[in-house]
Protein backbone atom coordinates (compact mmCIF):
# COMPACT_ATOMS: atom_id res chain seq x y z
CA UNK A 1 0.00 0.00 0.00
CA UNK A 2 1.31 3.43 -0.95
CA UNK A 3 0.44 5.66 2.01
CA UNK A 4 0.37 8.69 -0.30
CA UNK A 5 -2.88 7.34 -1.75
CA UNK A 6 -4.71 7.62 1.60
CA UNK A 7 -3.48 11.13 2.47
CA UNK A 8 -5.87 13.80 1.19
CA UNK A 9 -4.41 16.85 -0.58
CA UNK A 10 -6.41 20.06 -0.27
CA UNK A 11 -5.36 22.92 -2.59
CA UNK A 12 -5.30 26.52 -1.38
CA UNK A 13 -5.72 25.68 2.33
CA UNK A 14 -5.24 27.46 4.67
CA UNK A 15 -4.39 30.11 2.11
CA UNK A 16 -3.92 30.36 -1.67
CA UNK A 17 -0.84 28.59 -2.99
CA UNK A 18 -0.65 26.05 -0.13
CA UNK A 19 -1.30 22.36 -0.79
CA UNK A 20 -2.48 21.02 2.58
CA UNK A 21 -1.63 17.36 3.30
CA UNK A 22 -4.44 15.99 5.46
CA UNK A 23 -3.58 12.79 7.36
CA UNK A 24 -7.07 12.42 8.86
CA UNK A 25 -7.96 10.26 5.87
CA UNK A 26 -4.98 8.02 6.68
CA UNK A 27 -6.12 7.81 10.32
CA UNK A 28 -9.63 6.81 9.18
CA UNK A 29 -8.30 4.02 6.95
CA UNK A 30 -7.72 0.96 9.17
CA UNK A 31 -5.09 -0.63 6.90
CA UNK A 32 -3.33 2.66 6.22
CA UNK A 33 -3.25 3.65 9.89
CA UNK A 34 -1.92 0.23 10.94
CA UNK A 35 0.70 0.32 8.20
CA UNK A 36 1.83 3.83 9.20
CA UNK A 37 2.20 2.84 12.86
CA UNK A 38 4.06 -0.35 11.95
CA UNK A 39 6.43 1.58 9.67
CA UNK A 40 7.05 4.24 12.33
CA UNK A 41 7.83 1.56 14.94
CA UNK A 42 10.06 -0.55 12.64
CA UNK A 43 13.19 1.69 12.80
CA UNK A 44 13.14 1.25 16.58
CA UNK A 45 13.55 -2.53 16.53
CA UNK A 46 16.15 -3.31 19.18
CA UNK A 47 16.46 0.31 20.28
CA UNK A 48 15.99 1.43 23.88
CA UNK A 49 13.18 3.99 24.01
CA UNK A 50 11.79 5.21 27.35
CA UNK A 51 9.05 7.56 26.13
CA UNK A 52 7.26 8.72 23.02
CA UNK A 53 6.58 12.47 22.82
CA UNK A 54 3.82 13.59 20.47
CA UNK A 55 3.21 17.12 19.24
CA UNK A 56 -0.36 18.41 19.51
CA UNK A 57 -2.69 17.24 18.03
CA UNK A 58 -2.19 14.54 15.40
CA UNK A 59 1.12 13.65 17.04
CA UNK A 60 -0.99 12.55 20.03
CA UNK A 61 -2.86 10.00 17.92
CA UNK A 62 0.25 8.62 16.23
CA UNK A 63 2.44 8.85 19.32
CA UNK A 64 -0.11 7.14 21.53
CA UNK A 65 -0.37 4.20 19.15
CA UNK A 66 3.43 3.97 18.86
CA UNK A 67 3.89 4.16 22.65
CA UNK A 68 1.38 1.33 22.99
CA UNK A 69 3.29 -0.79 20.46
CA UNK A 70 6.58 -0.11 22.26
CA UNK A 71 5.07 -0.54 25.77
CA UNK A 72 6.44 2.83 26.89
CA UNK A 73 4.96 6.03 28.30
CA UNK A 74 3.62 8.94 26.28
CA UNK A 75 4.43 12.65 26.71
CA UNK A 76 2.02 15.23 25.24
CA UNK A 77 3.69 18.35 23.87
CA UNK A 78 0.97 21.00 23.98
CA UNK A 79 0.41 24.62 23.09
CA UNK A 80 0.97 27.04 25.96
CA UNK A 81 -1.71 27.04 28.65
CA UNK A 82 -3.25 23.63 27.88
CA UNK A 83 -1.54 21.47 30.52
CA UNK A 84 -2.96 21.44 34.07
CA UNK A 85 0.22 20.97 36.15
CA UNK A 86 3.52 22.89 36.40
CA UNK A 87 5.11 23.23 32.99
CA UNK A 88 8.25 24.26 31.18
CA UNK A 89 7.95 25.85 27.77
CA UNK A 90 9.87 26.70 24.65
CA UNK A 91 9.04 29.64 22.42
CA UNK A 92 9.54 29.54 18.67
CA UNK A 93 9.10 31.86 15.73
CA UNK A 94 6.16 31.62 13.35
CA UNK A 95 5.77 33.32 10.01
CA UNK A 96 3.68 36.02 11.71
CA UNK A 97 4.65 35.96 15.38
CA UNK A 98 5.69 33.66 18.20
CA UNK A 99 4.17 30.53 19.72
CA UNK A 100 5.13 28.26 22.61
CA UNK A 101 4.95 24.55 23.39
CA UNK A 102 4.98 23.06 26.88
CA UNK A 103 5.40 19.81 28.77
CA UNK A 104 4.84 19.02 32.42
CA UNK A 105 7.97 19.53 34.53
CA UNK A 106 7.95 15.81 35.42
CA UNK A 107 7.17 14.48 31.92
CA UNK A 108 10.67 13.09 31.36
CA UNK A 109 13.59 12.19 33.58
CA UNK A 110 17.26 12.93 33.10
CA UNK A 111 18.76 10.68 30.43
CA UNK A 112 15.50 9.16 29.17
CA UNK A 113 15.59 8.27 25.48
CA UNK A 114 12.65 9.82 23.65
CA UNK A 115 11.09 9.38 20.23
CA UNK A 116 9.50 12.60 18.93
CA UNK A 117 6.42 12.08 16.71
CA UNK A 118 4.18 14.31 14.61
CA UNK A 119 2.10 13.86 11.50
CA UNK A 120 4.04 16.25 9.27
CA UNK A 121 7.35 18.11 9.12
CA UNK A 122 7.23 21.37 7.17
CA UNK A 123 9.48 24.26 8.25
CA UNK A 124 10.50 22.45 11.44
CA UNK A 125 9.73 25.28 13.85
CA UNK A 126 7.49 23.32 16.19
CA UNK A 127 9.64 20.18 16.05
CA UNK A 128 12.80 22.18 16.77
CA UNK A 129 11.12 23.80 19.78
CA UNK A 130 9.92 20.38 20.97
CA UNK A 131 13.45 18.97 20.74
CA UNK A 132 14.92 21.91 22.66
CA UNK A 133 12.19 21.58 25.29
CA UNK A 134 12.69 17.84 25.79
CA UNK A 135 16.47 18.25 25.96
CA UNK A 136 16.18 21.10 28.50
CA UNK A 137 14.06 18.73 30.59
CA UNK A 138 16.90 16.18 30.49
CA UNK A 139 15.75 13.78 27.76
CA UNK A 140 17.77 12.58 24.80
CA UNK A 141 15.77 12.78 21.56
CA UNK A 142 16.98 9.72 19.66
CA UNK A 143 14.67 9.85 16.63
CA UNK A 144 12.15 12.24 15.06
CA UNK A 145 9.38 10.44 13.14
CA UNK A 146 6.78 11.88 10.80
CA UNK A 147 4.25 10.46 8.39
CA UNK A 148 4.74 13.30 5.87
CA UNK A 149 7.81 15.35 4.96
CA UNK A 150 7.52 18.50 2.87
CA UNK A 151 11.22 18.62 1.89
CA UNK A 152 10.97 21.91 -0.03
CA UNK A 153 10.23 23.67 3.28
CA UNK A 154 13.45 22.38 4.89
CA UNK A 155 12.21 21.19 8.28
CA UNK A 156 13.72 17.70 8.15
CA UNK A 157 17.04 19.18 6.97
CA UNK A 158 16.94 21.61 9.90
CA UNK A 159 16.50 18.73 12.36
CA UNK A 160 19.32 16.77 10.71
CA UNK A 161 21.55 19.86 11.00
CA UNK A 162 20.83 19.68 14.76
CA UNK A 163 22.27 16.14 14.68
CA UNK A 164 18.89 14.40 14.85
CA UNK A 165 17.91 11.32 12.91
CA UNK A 166 14.69 11.92 10.97
CA UNK A 167 12.30 9.36 9.51
CA UNK A 168 9.33 10.25 7.28
CA UNK A 169 7.13 7.69 5.59
CA UNK A 170 6.24 9.78 2.53
CA UNK A 171 7.46 13.02 0.98
CA UNK A 172 5.46 15.46 -1.06
CA UNK A 173 7.44 17.86 -3.21
CA UNK A 174 6.11 21.40 -3.13
CA UNK A 175 3.76 22.62 -0.46
Enumerate the active-site residues: 58, 95
3-state helix/strand/coil string of the chain:
CCHHHHCEEEECCCCCCCEEEECHHHHHCHHHHHHHHHHHHHHHCCCCCCEEEEECCHHHHHHHHHHHHHCCEEEEEEECCCCCCCEEEEEEEECCEEEEEEEECCCCCCCCEEEEEEEEECCCHHHHHHHHHHHHCCCEEEEEEEEEECHHHCHHHHHHHCCCCEEEEEECCCC
Amino acid sequence: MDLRTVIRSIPDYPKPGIMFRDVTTLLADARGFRRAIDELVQPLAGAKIDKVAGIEARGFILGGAIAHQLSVGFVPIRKKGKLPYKTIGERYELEYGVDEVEIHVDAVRQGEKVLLVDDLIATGGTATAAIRLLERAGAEVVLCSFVVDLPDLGGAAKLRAMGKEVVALVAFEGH
